Each structure stands twice: as C-alpha cells, then as structure tokens.
Amino acid sequence: MSHTIKDKKKLNTRVNKIQGQINGLKKLLEEENECQDVLQQIAAIRGAVNGLMREVIKGHLIEHLVFEEELEKRETDMQAVLNILDSYIK
C-alpha cells in the first residue's frame, strides 16, 4: 500500500487547511486589506505547503528507501526525490 493512501486522512487534512488559507488569501485580495496581512497569509500558506511536502517526502523515504530491498530501485527512488527537491527549492 502506498504511503499516500495509508496516510490519506492526515494528508487530506493538511490539503484542506491549505485550501482554507488560499480562500482566505483570495478574500484578503478582493477586499481592502493591509499589505502585511496579505504577506502574512502568503507566508502561512507557504509554511503549510512546506509541511505537506515534508510529510510526503518523509513517507516516501521510509517506504521506498528504507524498506525497499532492491538496491537499484532504492537508487532510482532516491534520484527521483533529489530531482523533486531540486525543482522545489529553486
């Protein structure tokens, strides 16, 4: 079973929180609000997305690297994670 399926409830809770934060940002932008409020909301969204990324990566590393018996498959999965991190951190 994929770790994203096993942790589906926890991950969906995080996604729902991010959706709520994005809806809040949209409302802030539609109404007249201070720049600092908008920036704070954007920072909160970024933090929530980073937390979601951390949880999915952690699950991936444990499931596909720690418990994977085949060396070649572990190396392939590790390279995939590194590629994703490279694109995410840019």
* Residues in the chain, overall count: 90
> pLDDT (tens digit, 9 = 90+) per residue, 28-84?
999 989 999 999 999 999 999 999 999 998 888 888 888 788 889 888 988 988 999
User: Percentage helix, strand, coil, to 5, in the chain?
Assistant: 85, 0, 15
Judging by beta carbons within 10 Å of its beta carbon (0-12, 13-18, 19+), is residue 82 exposed, middle or buried?
Answer: exposed
Is-contact 46 76, C-beta < 8 A? Answer: no
Q: CA 83: distance to chain centroid?
A: 15
Q: Please tell me the total count of domains within the chain.
A: 1
Range of the domain at 28: 3-89
CATH of the domain at 46: 1.20.58.1000
- 1 pLDDT more than 70: no
